[in-house]
Amino acid sequence: MCGVCDRIQLIKEGRNPYFVKELETGYVVLGDHQRFQGYTLFLCKEHATELHFLEKEFKNRFLQEMALTAEAVYRAFGPDKLNYELLGSGNFTHMHWHFYPRTVGDTPTPGPVWKLPMEELYNDKYLPGEETLFIMKEKLNEELEKLLAQ
């Protein structure tokens, strides 16, 4: 099974503490490590590796919900800039969007988050505590609800 499918299965079983909200085409989750406050992912419900492999209607809806998720992240966490990435390699080729809320000076030199060493990005000191995680999920879910109500 792929890493993203594993995460989705945990959501379905009610065992993913980072799960925020289910949308029509995917799942909104906070990133495990919060080196960038508000780091969020949008996991595609379909196990597809490329946008062009999705049916047209599903693809269009997936992209709409990606944009909605990005706006909610922006509203909830107030970054200077929001970086979007659709990546995949190894055991994580299943499509999933990354949203990195960026602030001026958040890295030693300007550039993508991937310029940081992996041991910095995934340092356990950036794992949110239970209370912090709850607050972050509530803020993000509130913004998602507002946007969905429009």
72-91 core/surface letters (b: 16 or more CB in 10 A; e: else)? bbbebbebeebeeeeebeee
- Per the listing, tokens 């800039």 go with 81
Helix (H, G, I), strand (E, B) or coil at 32: coil
- Residues in the chain where the model's pLDDT stays below 50: none
Instruction: Count Cα atoms within 13 angstroms, Cβ side, for 59.
Output: 9
Give 131-149 pLDDT, tens digit per residue: 999 999 999 999 999 999 9
- Per-residue model confidence (pLDDT) at position 90: 78
Q: Which domain holds residue 70?
A: 3-149
- Per-residue model confidence (pLDDT) at position 144: 99
- Per-residue model confidence (pLDDT) at position 142: 99
Task: Measure the CA–CA gap between 33 and 103, rounded to whole angstroms.
Answer: 17
- Per-residue model confidence (pLDDT) at position 87: 83
- Per-residue model confidence (pLDDT) at position 30: 99
Task: Measure the CA–CA gap between 40 and 113, rounded to whole angstroms.
Answer: 14
Task: Measure the CA–CA gap between 150 and 13, rounded to whole angstroms.
Answer: 30
- Report pTM: 0.96
Specify the number of domains making up the chain. Answer: 1
Structure token digits, residue 119: 């041991």
- Per-residue model confidence (pLDDT) at position 54: 98
- CATH number (domain holding residue 70): 3.30.428.10
